[in-house]
Amino acid sequence: MNILIQHGRVIDPANHIDAQHDLYIADGKIVAIDQAPSGFKANQTIDASGLVVAPGLVDLSVRLREPGFEYKATLNSELQAAAAGGVTSLACPPDTEPTLDEPGLVEMLKYRAKKLNLAHVYPLGALTRQLEGKTLTEMCELTEAGCVGFTQADHPIIDTQVLWRACEYAATFGYTLFLRAEDPYLAKDGVAHDGEVASRLGLKGIPAAAESLALASLLRIARETGTRLHIQRLSTAEGVALVRQAKQQGQAVTADVSTQHLHLTELDIGFFNTQTHLRPPLRTQRDQYALCEGLKDGTIDAICSDHSPVDDDAKLLPFAEAETGASAVELLLPLTLKWASNTQQTLSDAIARITIMPATIMGITAGSLTVGQCADVVIFNPDEYRKVEAQHLKSQGKNTPFLNMELAGKVHYTLVEGLITYSTL
C-alpha cells in the first residue's frame, strides 16, 4: 500500500531534519521525503497539518508479561498499548515464566509478536540460567534466536567472578550487557528511598549508596574486560556522576532513565500511594534534578518507559507489600516532551532520546526516517493535551502515578512497516 503523509512537520534527529515535508511510503518502506518518487500514486493520504511526523519510538524496557504472567498482561494488550503510545520497536526483559534463557522461548516470543504485527519486539536474553546469577546462558545461541543483548533484569549477580566471566564472554563476541546497578544487601527488603519520607512513613529504605557502590563495581569490571555496558534506569545523582566520569575516561558505557524518575520524587509517595512503589525507588529532588541535567548534557543517553503492568489487586496491598511497577509505554512520548519543556530542550532533542539513541544502544536499524528503511512512523500533536485515565489505557495494567494528569503529546497515528497499527480516527 502506498501512503502519502503530507503537510506535516517532519522531525528526524538521525538525519538532522526538522522542516515541513511530505513523506512517501511504498511496500512498507520510506521511499522519499519532500519530493515524490517517479510514478508514485498514493492509495491513502494522511493530512498531518499541524502535526509532527517522526520516527516510530524505540523503548528500551517494556515488560510484555508473556510467557507466564498473563494475569498481569498479555502480549496483545501490551503491544496494543505500545502502538497507542507511538512505540514501534521495543526491548523486553527476560524475567518471564519460564525465563528467556532458551533459544526456543525467544523464537516463540518473536514469532507470536510478528503475527500480531503491532511493534518490533527485541528480546533481551537472560545473562544467567533462570536469572540465578550462577551459570551463564548460551549467549551465542540466544543471539541467533533474536536477542539483542543480555541482562539480569532486577536480579543482580552477587558472585563477582561470575559477573567477570560474563563480561569477558560478552566482550569477546561484542554483545551488550544491559545491567541495573543495585547492591542486593543494601537494598534487601527496602521499598523506598532511605531518607526523610521513608523514615516518617516507617518504610524500610534503600540508600543511594546501593546504586553507586554497585555501579562503581560494574564500571570497573566492564572497563577491565572491555565490555560494552548499558546501565539501566539510573536513579541517583551519584550514579549520574559515575557514568559521566566513565564516559570522560573513554569507557564504552551508555545509560538510560525512566520517565517516572524524571518527574517524580520520594515526596510523591504521599500517604502510601502504591502507584509510586517502583524499582529503583523514587529518590530525592536533588537526584531528580541530576537525572534531568544528566540527560540534558548527554551523560544519560536515552529515556525508557520501564513499562511494568501489574494487576489491580497487587497495588491494593499495603505499600511495603504492593508489587512494584507502572504501566508507562503509552506515556513515554508525553512525559519525554514534558522533560524537554521543563529543561528548555528542543523537540528534536527530545525525540532523539526515544528514537535513534535507544536504537543505537540496541544495535538495531530503527529510530530514523532514512529512505529505504522500514516505514515505522508516529504522527502526533505536541501541543494537544489529554487526561491520563485508566479506562483509556490500552495496557491491561492500569497502574500509573500519572492518573488524572493532563499531558501534552497526543498520538494520532502509528505506522509499522507502512501499516497503520493505531489511529485516533
User: Helix 209-225 to helix 160-173 angle, to the nearest 10 degrees?
Assistant: 50
- What is the three-class DSSP state of 379? strand
Residue 37, burial from CB neighbour count under 10 angstroms (0-12, 13-18, 19+): exposed
Cβ atoms of 178 and 131 within 8 Å: the answer is no
3-state helix, strand, coil in the chain (%, to 5): 35, 25, 40
Q: Is 306 a catalytic residue?
A: yes
Strands 29-33 and 44-47 turn out to be unpaired
Q: Write down the residue that cell numbers 564516559 correspond to.
A: 247
DSSP classification of residue 155: -
- Are 414 and 83 spatial neighbours (Cβ–Cβ below 8 Å)? yes
Instruction: Name the burial class of residue 250, with classes exposed (0-12), middle (13-18) and buried (19+) by CB atoms within 10 angstroms of its CB.
Output: exposed
Measured in residues, the chain has a length of 425
Could you tell me the three cell numbers for 349?
Answer: 532533542
Active-site option among 12, 95, 183, 306: 306
Report residue 29 CA to chain centroid gap: 24
Locate 64 and state its grid cell.
510484555
SS3 of residue 230 by DSSP: strand
Catalytic residues: 306
